[in-house]
């Protein structure tokens, strides 16, 4: 039997994802060693291997079939726009994509002024402002700590993820508009879905049942 390969977004979500895999009988002991620098982890018995990748690369590995399936945030899926099957909402890592800024920016947004928008998600920002709102803005791509942008005057607003809201609050910013709700999703390579249909649909089914049970 060939190995089934699963790509996980490294960081907070990887740990939560592995808890779910363990709960459906696909544990991976090697991965629990927090000091490890290994990138790939194997469950020999079940012939499944897991690897950790940068979140934005997970859809790429899955689209090209280097991973049969993956777990990644909806934010990354929307931004990357890869060809793959999104099969399940795992209900973990729940947060929102929002337009945020200082309270004063609310008026400027309302009046469709030509404002600057800093974000790690230029694709999502473009789609929201240009296609949904028909509002012309200048989008500036950043790679992290996006909340800094309106504070130091790089942009009027940001498009970013809000989870607890504490980063915004501690920096004098607020949610101005909601774009979309986010959570972790299971994704599957389109060819693997056919070639490994039995194993993959069992995993999807077990995961779906587990999530349903947890939500009850
Ligand atoms: C994310 C996001 C916000 C923060 C939101 O950042 O970009 O900055 O978390 O969480 P909160 O609403 O609970 O405060 P992340 O930690 O991924 O870091 P980065 O933006 O620097 O990449």
Tell me, what CATH number does 199's domain have?
3.40.190.10
117 CA distance to ligand 1 middle (Å):
17
Within this chain, do residues 140 and 169 fall inside the same structural domain, yes or no? Answer: yes
Q: Are strands 4-9 and 48-53 parallel, antiparallel or unpaired?
A: parallel
Ligand 1 atom nearest the C-alpha of 146 is 20
Q: Do residues 74 and 9 make contact, with C-beta atoms less than 8 angstroms apart? A: no
- The pLDDT, as a whole number, for residue 169 is 97
CB contact at 8 A, 139 and 119: yes
Residue 34 confidence (pLDDT) above 90: no
Tell me: do 110 and 154 sit in the same domain.
yes
Q: Does residue 82 sit in the same domain as residue 109?
A: no
Domain limits at 68? 4-93+183-215
Same domain, 107 and 161: yes
Domain total in the chain: 2
Q: How far is the CA of 111 from the centre of ligand 1 (A)?
A: 28
Choice among 19-33, 78-92, 136-150, 195-209 with the minimum mean pLDDT: 19-33
What global pTM score does this model have? Answer: 0.94
Same domain, 87 and 32: yes
Mean of pLDDT values over 65-81: 97
Give the pLDDT confidence of 152-196 residue by residue, as tens digits.
Answer: 999 999 999 999 999 999 999 999 999 999 999 999 999 999 999
Q: Are residues 86 and 101 in the same domain?
A: no
Residues 172 and 199 occupy one common structural domain: no
Q: Which atom of ligand 1 is nearest to the CA of 160?
A: 7
């Amino acid at each position: 039997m060939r190995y089934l390969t699963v790509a996980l977004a490294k960081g907070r979500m990887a740990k939560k994802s592995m808890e779910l895999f363990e709960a459906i009988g696909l544990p991976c002991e090697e991965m629990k060693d927090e000091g490890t620098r290994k990138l790939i982890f194997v469950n020999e018995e079940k012939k499944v291997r897991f690897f950790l990748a940068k979140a934005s690369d997970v859809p790429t590995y899955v689209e090209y079939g280097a991973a049969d399936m993956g777990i990644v945030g909806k934010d990354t899926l929307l931004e990357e726009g890869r060809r793959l099957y999104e099969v399940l909402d795992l209900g973990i890592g729940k947060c929102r994509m929002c337009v945020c800024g200082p309270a004063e920016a609310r008026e400027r947004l309302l009046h469709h002024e030509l404002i600057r928008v800093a974000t790690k998600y230029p694709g999502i920002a473009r789609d929201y402002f240009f296609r949904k709102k028909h509002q012309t803005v200048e989008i500036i791509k950043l790679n992290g700590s996006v909340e800094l942008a309106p504070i130091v005057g790089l942009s009027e607003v940001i498009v970013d993820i809000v989870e607890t809201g504490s980063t915004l609050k501690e920096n004098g910013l607020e949610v101005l508009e909601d774009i979309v709700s986010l959570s972790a999703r299971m994704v599957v390579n389109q060819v693997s879905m056919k070639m490994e249909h039995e194993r993959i649909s069992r995993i999807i089914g077990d995961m779906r049942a587990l999530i349903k049970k947890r939500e009850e």
